[in-house]
Each structure stands twice: as C-alpha cells, then as structure tokens.
Amino acid sequence: MTTKIGCHVGMNSKELFLGSAKEAVSYGADLFMLYTGAPQNTRRKPIEELNLDAGFAYMNKYHLSDPIVHASYIINLANSIKSETFSLGVEFLASELERTRAMHSTILVLHPGSHVDAGAKAGIKKTVEGLNEVLSADTKVYIALETMAGKGSEIGKSFEELAEIYDGVVHNQKLRICFDTCHVNDAGYDIVNGFDEVIDKFDHLIGKNQIAVFHINDSKNPCGSKKDRHENIGFGTIGYEALHHIVYHKDFLEIPKILETPYVTAKEGQEEKTLPPYQYELTMLRSGKFDEKLIEKIRKGKKN
C-alpha cells in the first residue's frame, strides 16, 4: 500500500521555493507543505521573486507532488471585536489564495480563527462572513479549514462547528478540511481507540470526502486536553500504531499526509532543538515498525 506522505518545510533559504523543494527531497518526502513567508506576519515577497519555476523543475525531476500551502496565523476571520483584524484577514487571505495558485497548489490550509471572548457563535458567524467575501464560484483553490485543538478561544474544535461554517458559506464547494491528528485528539475525539467511529461522526456532519489533507502529529497531551502541543511520532499520547493506522487507512490512501512534528536536539546536552526529525519519521511510518530508539538515533545524527 502506498500513500503520499511529506512534511512541513521552510522557505527561508536564498533559493526560496526551490529551497523548500530541496528540503523536502532531502527527507525523502513525497510532497511538502509551506507557508508563503513567515507564518506570524504578513510581509510577503512578490510572486515573481519566489523562484517558483526553478522549484517546479526540481520537483518534477524528483517526482514531488503538488505542495500544500498553509495560510499565515495572522489571519483571524473570527474576530468580531476588532474590525481592522477582520478586514486585514480578508484582504490577506485573498492574496494567500493567489500565492497558493502560483505555487501550483490547490489547497490552502486555514485556521478557522479565534473568537476572542465574543463566544463561538459570534466567531463562527464572522468566519463565515470572511469566507464569503473571499470565495467565489471561480476560486481556483480550496480553503481547507483545519480541525483545531480548542486552546484559548479557537473555533473549529468540534466537527459541529466546522459543519456550521460549511452551512453558512455560499460557495462551500470551495471548502475542504485539514484533519490534524494532534488537534483532534486534544479536542477530545478518541482517535486511538476509535478512529473509525470518529470518522463516522465526521462523515455524518461534514462528509469524509471533504478531508483534503491530514496533519500527522503525535500529541504531548491527553485526549480532550485542549492544548495543541505536537510530539514526535510514537512519543506522545496518540502513539505510533494509531498514527500508522491513519496514514495507511484504506479510505484515505489518496489523501496527502503532512508531518508537523517538532525538531529535536542534535546531540545530548544541547538545549536548542535544531534537527528536523522528518527523514526518520517518514522512514518509520513507511516501514510499519515503531523504532523506540528513534530519538536517540536522531540525536546521534545516525541514518539507521
């Protein structure tokens, strides 16, 4: 059985988009996800300066699939309190859609937003309003609403809330879902003992064919903790078996999977986590066998 699995990469080398593609190939990924600039701000280079064509040529040579784009965290469509935040979000989201298209991607992952004390109802209403401003019948990119952990005032922490957004959006054929395993676990769905039941519930409310991408992350916290802290594959509360089951689930083999697990320390005693775990985690997921010595190997910088 095969499925496409890759990871989040940066775009901060001199080679920009080409550098992102090279990073993905260095891990043995089938595809990658990237931000169009720093996730925390809205400073963006013009599309012509992103070195896209060199990146596409490289991707072609190494058989990488089309990338997934993640929208900036600055966008908060659910903010009904500060109108500047909302209008900046709408405007910036529209430009993220253009960059996504330019990167030959059809999927822009978006956090549905935080209601900032106005309550989930008000937040959802505002997010719907924002999506309706941005989406039209001929939008060429899907906006994949991410399932959220429910930390702070996040909306999208339940399938019901995501379904409500679908209900309000006029061109909801342009919506999809990004199913983040850490977030869904932290939100309180038991994907360890009952992934199929969780998917059944999702299917009734939204439709399982709406899942356009999975974020495959273990979690540092128990089911229902509402925390959102990602852990390396097999080292958290979800565990290797459950994550492997999801990655190779027969209903989702066609759906891309992206790792967003944390960097680890490169050697014993080092404080900063500077080493990406992706090469090892991808190998481990594909092999079907959990390797408990993984982190040790990563720290020693060994390949096998």
Which spans of this chain sit near Fe ion (rule: CB under 5 A)? Answer: 146, 180, 215
Q: According to the 3-state scheme, what is the secondary structure of 141-153?
A: CEEEEECCCCCCC
Q: How far is the CB of 105 from Fe ion (least distance, A)?
A: 15
> Shortest distance, CB of residue 182 to Fe ion, whole angstroms?
7
* Nearest distance in Å: CB 214, Fe ion: 9
Packing angle between helix 159-168 and helix 195-205, nearest 10 degrees?
Answer: 20
- The neighbouring-strand residues paired with 109 are 70, 144
Select from Fe ion, Zn ion, none the partner in contact with residue 215, using the beta carbon and a kind-dependent cut-off of 5 to 8 Å: Fe ion
Residue 186 interacts with Zn ion (CB under 5 A): yes or no: no
Number of residues engaging Zn ion in binding (CB under 5 A): 1
Q: Which does 228 bind (CB under 5 to 8 A by kind): Zn ion, Fe ion, none?
A: Zn ion
Cβ proximity to Fe ion, 30 vs 146, nearer residue: 146
Q: Which C-beta is closer to Zn ion: that of 228 or that of 231?
A: 228
List 146, 228, 231, 281, residue binding Zn ion (CB under 5 A)? 228
Least separation in angstroms between residue 57's CB and Fe ion is 29
Q: By C-beta, is 109 or 169 nearer to Zn ion?
A: 109
Check: CB of residue 9 under 8 Å from CB of residue 32.
yes
Q: Which range touches Zn ion (CB under 5 A), out of 49-57, 123-131, 220-228, 243-251?
A: 220-228
When CB distances to Zn ion are compared, the closest residue is: 228
CA distances from 260 to 90, 164, 166, 219, 225 (A): 26, 27, 26, 11, 19
Structure tokens at 51: 């070195």
The option from Zn ion, Fe ion, none interacting with 218 (CB < 5 to 8 A, set by class) reads none
Helices (H), 103-233: 120-134, 159-168, 181-187, 195-205
CA 152 – CA 212 distance, rounded (Å)? 26
Q: Which residue, 21 or 198, is less far from Zn ion as judged by CB?
A: 198
Beta carbon of residue 27, minimum distance to Fe ion (angstroms, whole number): 18
Least separation in angstroms between residue 196's CB and Fe ion is: 22
Residue 63 contacts residue 98 (beta carbons within 8 Å): no
Q: Can you say how many angstroms the Cα of residue 275 is from the centroid of all Cα atoms in its chain?
A: 20
Are 196 and 250 within 8 A, CB to CB?
no
Which residues in this chain contact Zn ion in the complex, by CB under 5 A?
Answer: 228
